[in-house]
Amino acid sequence: MPSDPLAQVEAIIRSLKEQVETQLGSWLESTTPSKFKQMEMDVHALLRGVADQLSGLVLVALSQDPTFQAETAAAAHVGSAGTLRGAGHRTVKVRLLGGSVVSVKVAYLAQRRHKRQRRTRRRRRRTCRGLYPLLAALGIWFGVTPALAGEVCRQVADSDSVRTGREALDRRGIDLGHKQTLRIVNRFGSRAVQQRQDWLLDAIDREPSCGVLRGKRVVVETDGGRLRERVKRGRRSKRTGHHRYDAPWREPKLLTIYVIDDKGDVEQSFRPILDGTLDDCNAIFAMLAGYLRALGAHEAKELIFIADGAKWIWDRTGQLAEMVGLPMARVTETVDWYHAVETLHEVADLRSRWPKKSRAQWLKRAKKALFAGAIDDVMRLFDDIAVGRKARGINKHRDYFRRNRNRMQYAAFKAAQRPLGSGAVESGVRRVINMRMKANGTFWLCENAEGMLLLRGYLKAGRFDDLVDWSIASSASWWNRRLNTAPIAEHVRLPS
């Protein structure tokens, strides 16, 4: 450690005092709203610079500590199982939370290469991925501190575009440029997705343990959204040199898990889980199983699964209960009430020449029968209007109600204080996908869309800081073994 860190701190304070004394006179003349606003912004910028000086001082001091350097290098070497080798020291520039840049000289470990591997520059750049053990131990990746990385990812995920996120960061003195901002968000998101996936697979493979969902009434919902994927097509254009692209629609699938009390109200003590993937139906149910097993849902009082009438969902609920280790006697399946009513309206719309009064009366009787769970009465109402050329279109909707008969006992569900609608996941689709990823002219690479789904889902669920802390700690698990828990704070700690 440097011999005089306290002296450096005192120098920073003296410099701050001198700057305040120099500008205090002009600050005291801020007698209009615009001048007072500018004064306040100048003060914050000044103190932000001081904060970066103090943070940079600590970082430089840690980098000059030979003991800390040796400990982190040894831990990284052991954690890599000997695949890394010492490659001397390098000077690295690190950007701090306030936007300032500090240079530190730290040890570098390079990837070991096979003796027969060709040592061309191109091959070396592609295969040799090294590590700065000291920076990794402190959570410094992609050339930025963990606080700055988290703030950049939060702002970009919360904004409607990278440009809007950059503008918000720039007002706080942080301007990384478009490419660096995008690089940080994409790399952080891709890494977090892989870490999350490994954790869920581990939760499925190991025996379920006691968790926060023990004895709780757990509600699970899932649904799909839409976004445009960016796919390369053919060769580069000879005229422009650019790749041609197709933009097919993809259906990202979202899940949400929350807890209700005996009265059917949402328990505020448990923050909901909101996550998603661009993968297929089996992938989203595997994610559901991993989350539920990790939280101890096998000991839940009741599991309520709510969704629309899509066959891909209801064909897998039994398998989900089996994977979680929960008997079907404690599982309640519910078709979303509003989707069922919407289907009734589609049937009524097929009678285009119906008087409005007759249509309203028919819908009233159909909704009453549907709410009571009298599906046979609903079928008889279908028979009354299934005549003529419209009969075939009306009969197509019969199977929807017949196969979901047991999932449409809404009066009984309401009496048991169970929710009838999947509004939670519908809201999640709107906030996570539609408001951020479905804008006109927005096209996504698959890996970047996966990262944004994770970041924005956790952000809207109030779990973003937990995800950032866990992902950064897990990236250097050889140093942060005791912090290797889970991306959700309610999860019980895993053994070191």
377 and 299 share one domain: no
Amino acid at 17: K
Instruction: Report if residue 495 sits inside a domain.
Output: no
Instruction: Report if residue 31 sits inside a domain.
Output: yes
Q: Which residues pair with 104 in a beta bridge?
A: 92
Instruction: Report if residue 301 sits inside a domain.
Output: yes
- CB distance 315 to 285 below 8 Å: no
DSSP 315-353: TSHHHHHHHHT--GGGEEEEE-HHHHHHHHHHHHHT-TT
**Helices vs strands, H then E, count in the chain:** 21, 11
Instruction: Report if residue 254 sits inside a domain.
Output: yes
- CB distance 487 to 458 below 8 Å: yes
- CB distance 468 to 185 below 8 Å: no
Rounded Cα–Cα distance for residues 227 and 190 (Å)? 18
Identify the domain boundary among 380, 399, 415. 415
- CB distance 110 to 132 below 8 Å: no
262 and 399 share one domain: no
Domain count, the chain: 3
Biggest CA–CA distance in the chain, Å, is: 94
Closest CA to 173 of 61, 284, 52, 62: 52
Amino acid at 440: N
Torsional sign, CA 285, 288, 292, 293: positive
Domain range for 307 is 194-336+421-483
289 and 316 share one domain: yes
51 alpha-carbon distance from chain centroid: 30
CA angle, corner 267, sides to 265 and 273, nearest 5?
115
Instruction: Report if residue 187 sits inside a domain.
Output: no
The predicted pLDDT at position 124 comes to 47
207 and 263 share one domain: yes
What are the per-10-residue average pLDDT scores of the chain (496 residues)? 77 94 94 94 93 94 93 89 86 94 93 60 54 94 95 96 93 89 96 96 88 94 94 79 86 96 94 95 96 94 94 93 94 96 92 88 96 94 82 84 94 96 95 93 93 97 94 90 69 42
256 and 288 share one domain: yes
Q: What CATH number does the domain containing 451 carry?
A: 3.30.420.40
DSSP 37-104: HHHHHHHHHHHHHHHHHHHHHHHHHHHT-HHHHHHHHHHHHHHTTT-EEEEEEEEEEEE-TTS-EEEE
Tokens of 204: 């499925």
Instruction: Report if residue 139 sits inside a domain.
Output: no
CA dihedral 396, 397, 402, 408 (to 10 degrees): 170
Total Cβ atoms within 10 A of residue 220: 25
Rounded Cα–Cα distance for residues 198 and 1 (Å)? 38
408 and 429 share one domain: no
342 and 303 share one domain: no
What backbone phi and psi angles, to 5 degrees, belong to 89?
Answer: -115, 150
320 and 374 share one domain: no
345 and 443 share one domain: no
Torsional sign, CA 401, 402, 406, 411: positive
**Lookup result for tokens 């250097």:** 476
Q: Which DSSP letter does residue 444 get?
A: B
- Per this entry, what is the length of the chain? 496
- CB distance 51 to 147 below 8 Å: no
479 and 350 share one domain: no
The SS3 of residue 245 is: strand
Q: At what angle do helices 446-460 and 178-205 cross, to 10 degrees?
A: 80
Identify the domain boundary among 13, 35, 63. 63
Q: At what angle do helices 464-475 and 178-205 cross, to 10 degrees?
A: 80
Rounded Cα–Cα distance for residues 279 and 368 (Å)? 39
Rounded Cα–Cα distance for residues 135 and 441 (Å)? 38
214 and 327 share one domain: yes
270 and 397 share one domain: no
Identify the domain boundary among 384, 415, 446. 415
Instruction: Report if residue 98 sits inside a domain.
Output: no
Instruction: Report if residue 469 sits inside a domain.
Output: yes
